[in-house]
Amino acid sequence: MKRFDAVTCCVFLALALAVPCAQAQEKLLVAFNSPEVCQQYISRTATARVLVPVDLATKRTTLQNSAQGSDLTRWIDSLRKVAVVYTSNPDSLLRRMRREPGISAVWVPQRYHIETSRTGGEPVPLPSQWYLDSLKARQAWRIATGSGIVVGVIDTGIDWLHPVLESSLWVNAAEDLNRNGRFDPWPSTEQRDGVYGDLDGTDNDGNGFADDVVGFSFVNQAPPPLGLGAGPFPYDQNGHGTAVAAVIAARSPENRGLMGLAFEARVMALRAFDLTGVGQEDDIAVAIIYAVLNGARIINCSFGDIVRSKLIAFALAAAEAADVVVVASSGNSGSATPHYPSDEPTVLSIGASTESGRVAVFSSYGERLFLLAPGQDILTAAVGGGFTSVSGTSFAAPLVSATAALLRSANPMLTAEQTRVVLAESASPLVGKWNPRSGHGIVSPLAALERSFLLGTVRITEPFHRSRWRSLRGSLAVGMNVLHPLLERWELLASVGSTAMLLDSGDGAAIGYHRHFDSLPSASDTPVVIRLRAYLRTGKTIEDAAVLESDPEQLSIDQARAVMVWVGSRRQLAGIVLANRPCEVRADVVDDRGQQVASAWGDGQFRRLHTVLLDVRASGVYRIRFTVWDDTDTTVAVLDSIRTMETVVSKADWQPRPYTAEPLLLSGSKVVAPGSFIATQMAVPQHAVVLERNQDTFRMSVLANRTLFLRGIGDTDGDGRREVLTYDAGQTRLYQFDPVPLGKVIWGDTTTGSFWAAGLADITGDGRAEVLGFRTRRVGIASDGSLQPQSDALVALSWDGSSYHVLDSIELASVPRGGRTINTITAPACAVGDFDRDGAIEIAYADSDGDLEIAEWRDGRFVLEYGAPPQPFLAGAGTEFVVAADVDGDSAEEVFFAAPALPAYNTIGEYEPPLWHLALLKSTAANQYSIVWEDFVWGVRYGRPYYNGVAAGDLTRDGKAEIIASLFPNAYVLTWNGTALVPLLVCDSVWSNGALVADFDGGGTTELALTRGLIAPRTVFYQYAPAVMQAPSILEAYQTLDSGLFCRWSRRDTGEIFTVRISGDVVAETADTVLVVPSVALPSCRECRVEIRAVRGNDSSNWSDPAIVIRGEFLRIDRVEPTIEGAQMLHFTVRGYLPPKGIPADALIIERDDERWHATSTVASGNQTLVVWLSAPLVAGTYRVALIEGTRDGYGNPSPASEAVLIVQPGRAEEEFHVEQVVEATHEAVTVRFSAEPDAATLPLKNVQVHPYGSIIAIEQQFFLFL
């Protein structure tokens, strides 16, 4: 072969990272360094897809040659670098992909939530739309009606069949195959009522989405979403999106009836939220880009969360570059807590005002409130063709979106920034100038249209909102633009808390302003606000602001903690870390012998608060090492002597009953007669029903044609007949139940939308039940005479012979947290009883921070008796997680309560860990209480509040009550074992928001009702039917090294003999709880089903829950790929089946002579390939590589010792053809210099490898680099 001194070749790489191909259960987002590398990865990975389809991205060509087009291309390319990867093993994939040089970030997607309506949600007659009169809409319609403007509504979808919306939908002409201007959702080959459908499965307009006639459903969640997933059907299964869309563009026939503010605009249905109101950041980002590139001029976002998504921020920047106005709701917590996307600098943040022109008490203001709009008692459309009255910033935002549509309809040349300034200048101010609570004032569509010629800009261009800044590291650059015909002067200020500093000012326009400031106010952990204020000659101000995060200089761990948590039916170890600034985390666990047994990474997000689930279940004493790091620092913390106890819950003693019912929500449900009970239908619109037993099912005997959630049944007026208390989002009704169930409303609070029913109980001792609930939207008078929001309050109402009147109320007393100024409730419940046995009735309840309070009814008044402090790290909306029951059999009721931690926010502005804290409170003396038990549950999915709840009842018939905690998707039946509450049953796929405990068949047996099932849920019934003896729980079962079988189980009683059967054959009887069955005694089975039964004399237990043991080839090292000197990564080929997360690093021995190299971590790349990272570079030589005996394979079976030889070659073998130098590299191509000229025989593609992952797709002999 001819030699050359230097030959340069360009080798084009295609990263082909291995992704587990098992059934996908979780979703990860992976950011590559370029769109091309991302696309190459996706083309080779079956479980990955692009975030932004290539066809959609190419629709930007109309703007390509403009400055706007350049910015749009840049932001869309940022999103095109991101892949969505589905995996059954996110932890392993996170670890592996973070090490790849072509990958910049890997993380678990953030979740966002639609803004919960504080009132409404039920069909109502069609009253007047007061807010249209308040906004002078009819005068504004003489100027513009929104014609020609498309408004994208990113929400839960739209009911496109609603009479007031069917003519208001944007229609994609290329996908409207029958050209009738509407969506006909059936195949184009099928004719219905003389009309062919629009669906042909083809992307007719080349935008990356097939059959997107009126929009698209982008809901691509993992685990699978609740309800409809991704596809061309953006139908609203929740109701929120339909209500929002109607506020914008509803149009009744002949313009008589419900009208949207921009009734001739068209709404684009962008479904990014499932039926529970949960959406993920990647789906939202794609919905934004879809709207931008398909002609939307305005985008409405009536959702939000405290956690900021960079992915959504990039999509919003693309919207800004495309001159799209984005409007978002500010939130309904009544607080200054940051809220995204409304606090993004490219978004108009909208709060809510009342009919009297004041700030609604629930209206949040965040960091960048822009305007208010009417948001209380808003009449709008309901799914199914009806109407509803709602309140919330969700319904204020679309009024501003509609106003922007009117403006851009009247003047199509108006830019997004000019629209923003016109809206601010024309608003009706509440206090004369911009104010944190009211922004620039209440939107004024008529004034905006009349003053739309006053064009200008008031914008901070640098620094970007929420940038991180360390005051000790130099000056801060500030850029801005100020221009307006009415400009008098401007000020540039910096503030920390209440301390403000004037940085600069001027009395004329300032375009392209840019200046460095060396002296700024600062405080540790306190944001710095840069504010630009433009004073107009009218006396108004227009403002813009950017908030800078002020980070401590040195990274440190403030708190570290370990807890045992329930993960389904098993106990597992979890670690929690709080750092002083955003960082990533890793946790490593070693046992008392110093052997590493587990390691785990965080979710890929840079945050202060982290929680990691560790694969430690066995009993033992462990040591946990937490490592946190960011771009500049690393630090560690160590926890010693962490003790764990192995526990598994068995279902063996529970028998399903031979009848079922339709899927029901069971919170507040009651048995009302033998074989009959009342509940709420799970299917929207969630009517209350009475069901009667009919052989193997329950049939509906009464249907209340109204959305109702049950809160209690009893006699409130002393007439001997029962009433049933119901609520729906702040609307409470007390129905007559006897003689006609749900036939007549005898009392209600349905107009204020501010009374949330919580229960019925006789607290006065007069034999009549009082109505208990919570009053929301309370206001008081401040010292300056202004109205101030007050915390929600517990209220008791009683019948006085002619009406129901308020007995007393008590305000939620705990200190608000997480930036809140008041305490609030959601979906409340309460527990009632004489908990301390002092003769007075107590009521236990919790607020939305998860703080438990107990009020005693004493001398005709409520007196606060107890307030439980919040747990460290934990806060959440726990208001429906309170129940009282005698769990220990001492005739006194204890109070069980729980605080979910996700979704929630805390004082540091981040999500809490995905843990729920459960606790039991017991009275120790009169008016004194102590928490006697607590535990944690991991992985609760918290959508709508009514999917979660608690109930109690004596299921074991031993005089002690069990607690049933529905922590979606699992339900836990907890029983007192003498010292603690322990699970007696764990059921998965439970939707029933609590449970019903009753004798359903009249046979004298107490049963448990739960609604279960992912595909076709049903309400099912269980009976606790233990044998004389309790069934054992199998703790561990695996194949032994001699191909036999090992099994270990728990002992429940004394003096037992255990019968062991495997795949139906009894193989042994033993008094021990450990058994080793030799291979010759095993039945012929590869997947062996192991069951244990306890026997004592003539008594026996039920067979245990089975354990499955997979018998097969043992895990062994087959070979180790040779490598070169200096390498710190090895590639193993193994036999057998690798664990998906790899093997423990200390299970490997790598040694040469007397030297040993330590593995730091491993990951599995498929079932037979292991990648290992080393603590130090290898030197040339021959190594022994060994796998220690007992290492578990992917089936949990221990492996025999095995070893292989590793050859490490010198790094510079001049006599051999080799790579001399990497001249230049990107993640699309690498230019390398070889020691000789390669020829066809030397460099066929199969002879070139890329480690640790990848493949060569092309080689060209070049002296330059192709991009």
Q: 585 with 577: CB under 8 angstroms? A: yes
> Is the pLDDT higher at 581 or at 450?
450
* Of the residues 973, 1002, 1025, the one at which a domain ends: 1025
The reply to whether 630 and 760 lie within a common domain is no
pLDDT score of 165 more than 90: yes
For residues 840-844, average pLDDT: 94
433/589 Cα distance (integer angstroms): 57
Q: Is residue 9 part of a domain?
A: no
116 inside domain? no
> Do the domain assignments include residue 821?
yes
Q: What is the CATH number of the domain that holds 971?
A: 2.130.10.10
Q: Please report, rounded to a whole number, the percentage of residues in the chain having pLDDT higher than 90.
A: 42
- State residue 869's pLDDT score: 62
Q: How confident is the model at residue 840 (pLDDT cuts 50, 70, 90)?
A: very high
- Helix, strand, coil % (nearest 5) of the chain? 10, 45, 45
The segment with the largest mean pLDDT, out of 41-55, 349-363, 517-531, 1253-1267, is 349-363
Residues 997 and 1061 in one domain: no
Q: 516 lies in which domain range?
A: 468-551
- By the 8 A CB rule, do 1006 and 1021 touch? no
Q: Give residue 1060's pLDDT band: very low, low, confident or very high (50, 70, 90).
A: very high
Q: Are 286 and 387 contained in the same domain? A: yes
For residues 784 and 854, membership in a common domain is answered with yes
List the single range of 153-157, 504-508, 668-672 with lowest mean pLDDT.
668-672
- Cα separations (Å) of 279 from 112, 156, 271, 667? 5, 9, 9, 25
CATH code of 1097's domain: 2.60.40.10
Tell whether pTM > 0.75: no
Pairwise CA distance, residues 204 & 869, whole Å: 59
pLDDT tens sequence across 938-968: 877 654 544 568 999 999 999 999 999 988 8
Give the model's pLDDT for residue 1229. Answer: 54
Report the alpha-carbon angle 1109-1115-1120, nearest 5: 160
Q: What is the mean pLDDT of residues 1219-1226?
A: 50
Is residue 349 in a domain?
yes
Mean pLDDT of the chain: 83
Mean pLDDT confidence for 276-286: 89
Q: Is residue 1191 over pLDDT 60? A: yes
- For residue 5, pLDDT over 50 is answered with no
pLDDT at 1212: 54
Name the DSSP class of 442.
Answer: B
Q: What is the pLDDT of residue 41?
A: 84
| Position 190 in a domain | no
pLDDT band at 901 (very low <50, low <70, confident <90, very high): low
What is the pLDDT at residue 789? Answer: 66
Measured CA to CA, the distance from residue 786 to residue 1142 in angstroms comes to: 63
Domain membership of residue 11 (yes or no) is no
Q: 819 and 847 in one domain?
A: yes
Name beta bridge partners: 372: 351, 442
Specify the pLDDT at position 780.
65
Mean pLDDT of 149-176: 94
What CATH number is associated with residue 636? 2.60.40.1220
Asked whether the predicted pLDDT for residue 1252 surpasses 50, the reply is no
Tokens of 780: 């008081």
Cα–Cα distance for residue pair 370/375, rounded to 1 Å? 15
Could you give the percent of the chain with pLDDT greater than 70? 84
Same domain, 530 and 635: no
The highest-confidence range among 150-154, 495-499, 1165-1169, by mean pLDDT, is 150-154
Q: How confident is the model at residue 1186 (pLDDT cuts 50, 70, 90)?
A: very high
Residues 1040 and 1057 in one domain: yes
Q: How confident is the model at residue 1050 (pLDDT cuts 50, 70, 90)?
A: confident
Residue 196 lies in a domain: no
CA–CA gap between residue 942 and residue 788 (Å, rounded): 31
Q: Tell me, what amino acid is at 825?
A: I
pLDDT by residue (tens digit) across 37-62?
Answer: 888 888 877 778 888 887 676 665 45
CA dihedral 597, 601, 602, 606 (to 10 degrees): 140
Which residue is listed with tokens 């492996």?
A: 1199
Tell me: the pLDDT tens digits for 913-930?
567 889 999 999 999 999
pLDDT at residue 788, rounded to an integer: 66
Q: Is the pLDDT of residue 908 over 80?
A: no
Question: Does pLDDT of 172 surpass 90?
Answer: yes
Q: Based on the structure, what is the number of domains in the chain?
A: 7
pLDDT number for residue 844: 93
Based on the domain organization, do 789 and 831 belong to the same domain? Answer: yes
pLDDT of residue 127: 54
Same domain, 767 and 878: yes
Residue 1264 binned pLDDT confidence (cut-offs 50, 70, 90)? very low
Amino acid at 665: L
Decide if 494 is inside a domain. Answer: yes
User: According to the model, what pLDDT value does residue 441 have?
Assistant: 92
Residues forming a β-bridge with 931: 921
Residues 488 and 432 in one domain: no
Instruction: For 473-516, give the secondary structure using H, E and C.
Output: CCCEEEEEEEECCCEEEEEEEEEECCEEEEEEEECCCEEEEEEE
Q: Which of 225-229, 420-424, 896-900 has the lowest mean pLDDT?
A: 225-229
Mean pLDDT of 68-75: 77
Average pLDDT over residues 527-550: 88
Cβ contacts of 805-808, under 8 Å, gap ≥ 24: 807/764, 807/770, 807/860, 808/860, 808/861, 808/862
Domain at 260, CATH number: 3.40.50.200
DSSP code per residue over 98-122: HT-TTEEEEEPPPEEEEPPPSB--S
CA pair distance 1106, 1109, nearest whole angstrom:
10
Mean pLDDT of 599-618: 82
* Residue at which a domain ends, from 422, 454, 486: 454
Residue 513 confidence class, pLDDT cut points 50, 70, 90: very high
pLDDT in tens, 355-413: 888 888 778 888 889 999 999 889 999 888 888 888 889 999 999 999 999 999 999 99
pLDDT digits (tens, 9 = 90+) for 989-1022: 888 888 999 988 777 789 999 998 877 889 999 9
Q: Which of 404, 429, 454 is the last residue of a domain?
A: 454
Residue 954 and residue 821 in one domain: yes
Q: Are residues 980 and 933 in the same domain?
A: yes
Is residue 9 pLDDT above 70, yes or no?
A: no
Statement: residue 1215 has pLDDT above 70: no
